[in-house]
Structure 1
Amino acid sequence: MTIRTDVADLLHQGMSDRAISLRLHCDAKAVARARAALGLPKAKSGYRAAASVIDLFHDRTESVDGGHLRWTGYTSKAGLGSVRYAGRQYTAFRIAFRIQHGREPVGHCSSDCGMPGCVAPAHVEDDTARTRNRATYAALIGVESPAEACGRGHAAADHRRYRRDGRPYCLPCTTGTDSGRRT
């Protein structure tokens, strides 16, 4: 029996008979006969799980100009990229942060590079890093607020955040939650 070299190559890569027949536009039974002639076992059926959540991340991103990564996987109604791995849901931002920093993020993760939806690990920050970087920026441009608490009594050390332009704001006052209120 003469076996096509492209069929033999794909069989040795572990592809299924049906996948090869669809890719090469040939008969699946002919592929099965080639597999038997080569003495190769049947391909394992079903979905092959990724080795890690990081592998899933890399499979679902593509590079774009400027060192950015665009998410190509599932996106929620809110526009957040996410994957399910080992029964848990992970957002693309949290995975990117973990790749870059080697730890779980604290609070909310987002990219601060200016490109909407960028999930490049070097561009993603958690609440701690974002607050620190924006506080440094505010101090450099002379916008730092020396107050220990906001007008409603929320401790600045716990609740102060910074806008992109360096202006400080109180998180509970802005979001409408008063969980950090002093008595």
Structure 2
Amino acid sequence: MNVRADVVELLHAGYSDRAIARQLGVDVKATVAPARLALGLPKAKSGKKAAATAEDLFWRRVQPTDDGHMTWDGYHTKDGVPGLKHGGRFHTANRLAYRIAKGRDPEGYALPSCGRDDCVKPGHHTDRADRQAEKRVDALYAGIFGPDA
């Protein structure tokens, strides 16, 4: 049997037969079920799929806006801090966005640097080290070109 590569990829990712058929626009009985059988894969587990990482869960909770930012559609603490629990730990949305963009945890707080306080889009945040570097550049720039430059 010739099995489609896109079906194989989704089967190995753990998707159910119906989810694969819906996503690819194919028939369950004619395409997906025979592929699962040919590959010797067990039936997919039913129910909600747990997020592998906090970053995966982050992407389920953000909503893009028309102006290129993202807002948080998930839990907020009583102080209004957007975040989520994963692996028994609380992660703020800003910290996760910084980690996704930079590949490391921020030093100190991760704060939006795009001008929107509610933005959680990765790449729109700075940490303490980034803010200190910006201050040094601003001071150097002012020293070279004068305070009014």
TM-score strictly above 0.5:
yes
Change (3 A) 1:128 1:42: closer
**d(CA) in 2 for partners of 1:93, 1:44:** 32
Q: Which runs of 5+ in 2 are unaligned?
A: 1-15, 21-42, 144-149
Per-residue Cα deviation, 1:41-91 (whole angstroms, up to 9, x for no partner): 79635x431122111111100111332111111011222111111111100
* Paired AA for residue 12 in structure 1: R
Is structure 2 residue 70 aligned with structure 1 residue 69? yes
Partner of 1:129: 130
Q: 1:138 to 1:55 in 2, by over 3 A?
A: same
Q: Which has the larger radius of gyration?
A: 1
Equivalence for 2:46:
44
Q: Give, as a single letter, the amino acid of the residue that structure 1 aligns with 2:96.
A: I
> How big is the shift at 1:120?
1.1
Q: Which amino acid aligns with 2:18?
A: H
**2:17 touches 2:44 (CA, 8 Å); kept in 1?**
no
Name the aligned partner's letter for residue 85 of structure 1: H
Task: Give the aligned partner of residue 57 of structure 2.
Answer: 56
Identity %, equivalent residues: 35
CA distance in 2, matches of 1:113, 1:83: 22
What is the deviation of 1:131? 1.6
Q: Calculate the TM-score normalised by the size of structure 2.
A: 0.62
Greater helix share, 1 or 2?
2
Q: State the Cα distance separating 1:124 from its structure 2 match.
A: 0.7
Displacement of 1:139: 3.2
Task: Quote the residue 2:86 is aligned against.
Answer: 85
- 2:104 corresponding residue in structure 1: 103
Query: Using a 3 Å threshold, how does the CA distance of structure 1 residues 135 and 58 change in structure 2: closer, same or farther?
Result: same
Letter in 2 for 1:82: G
Report the aligned-residue RMSD. Answer: 2.3
1:20-35 equivalence runs, <5 A: none
Aligned to 1:117: 118
